[in-house]
Amino acid sequence: MSASPLAYVLWKFPKLSETFVLEELRALERLGIVPEILALEHPREQAEHGDAARLSARAQWTEELTGRQWADVMLWLTVHPRAVGRTLAAALRCRSRRTLRNLRPAFAVAAMAARSGIEYLHAHFADEAGEVAWLAATATGIPYGVTVHAVDIYVNRRSVPFVLAQASLVVTVCRYNVEQLVQRYPFLERSAILVKPAGVDTAFFATRERHDPPVPGRVVAVGRLVDKKGFDVLVQAVAELRRQGTDATCTIVGDGPRHKDLHDTVVRLGVEEAVRLAGPLPPDEVRRLLATAWVVAAPCTIAADGDRDSMPVVLKEAMAMEVPVVASDDFGIPELVTPDAGALVPRDDAAALADALGSVLALSAEARAAMGRAGRQVVEERFREDLVVQPLAAAFASLVPSLEGALRATTG
């Protein structure tokens, strides 16, 4: 019997850009719910969160199964030929080669879950992991759910309607996403979608833990180097600030397919000395860098394929550390950034972004501190992980009654 009747199905674990999954798992643990972790792959760059190694110790990766373990999976499938047939039929309805390729890890998850006594599977992202959870659930009859984030809503994937339609629980991270989901998938009921924001550990991202004082004029941005982050607009805004005589510098943390294009933009605009592409950094170093920021920028936009951010976690981290923020006035961001905690500007408008950044950089120490305190209060009251995880834990307990005892024991 498994140590837990609940399993998380994840594509890559532990992933540097998805530390919110680690935060959620840790918060569930504090409530007495300790999910099994079934991942498909190791990421190229693993998260170096303080608890990543401990959580990884109880994870299983389908890519690491031995020949003997795969033999056990095949034996389970041989004993359940109807499960194989209905799962294959479900996959074929998607008319996707990627879905067919995911049958292999899905059958592995199905066999492991069935033999371990798993009663519920929960996936983060409806595309890769959600597809595997759906197929595994189809094979076993075990219910599943999914947390939908951004790319899995906005970039077309043929299996997503099937994943969402048959899920016992659909969760997403902001109200903006709820509206997008019901528009794109009318079979979903707005009231049935649980909003569970990606929360922040406000003890980890705390002002008192700053290692270095803020650096005047320093703008910091964190995220994958992809189109939807709008970092090219940020570089343009910094170049405009420099042209106006503002001594602004910018550090962009992250890696991704747009690295060369972004570097070329930096060179073309002649701001090599002002803009640094720092590459990917572990959470401890991100926290230290945020501590030195005068302002954190998130100029999110819509990529050509429709992909977009919903509510960037880095904004919550910065606000928790009492750092003012400037971001796009779109997506789920206005649900987070209040006027007294930062500034919102139209997306794709480098001039407006430069004006907003310049205004924050010009604030007095007292005004900047007040803005930071307002941001910290927003996060403490509405986006603290220990707070936002509670409705999710209650939803799990309603689906898996055996979790209710552990949850009651920790919540009194």
Co-location of 331 and 290 in the same domain: yes
Co-location of 172 and 71 in the same domain: yes
Q: Residue 272 sits in a domain of what CATH number?
A: 3.40.50.2000
Co-location of 217 and 360 in the same domain: yes
Co-location of 193 and 219 in the same domain: no
Range of 72's domain? 6-199+385-411
| E runs forming strands in 299-352 | 325-328, 342-345
Co-location of 153 and 214 in the same domain: no
Co-location of 125 and 26 in the same domain: yes
CA atoms of 16 and 280, how far apart (whole Å): 8
* 176 belongs to a structural domain: yes
Q: Tell me what the mean pLDDT of segment 280-299 comes to.
A: 93
pLDDT at 1: 38
Per-residue model confidence as pLDDT tens digits over 109-160 = 999 999 999 999 999 999 999 999 999 999 999 999 999 999 999 987 899 9
In the chain, the number of structural domains is 2
* R_g over Cα of the chain: 22
CA atoms of 345 and 330, how far apart (whole Å): 9
Alpha carbon distances (Å) from 232 to 104, 228, 237, 267? 39, 10, 9, 12
Mean pLDDT score of the chain: 93
Per-residue model confidence as pLDDT tens digits over 79-112 = 999 999 999 999 999 999 999 999 999 999 999 9
Would you say residue 207 has pLDDT above 80?
Answer: no
Per-residue model confidence as pLDDT tens digits over 226-243 = 999 999 999 999 999 999
Co-location of 352 and 394 in the same domain: no
Co-location of 266 and 128 in the same domain: no
* 170 belongs to a structural domain: yes
pLDDT at 51: 79
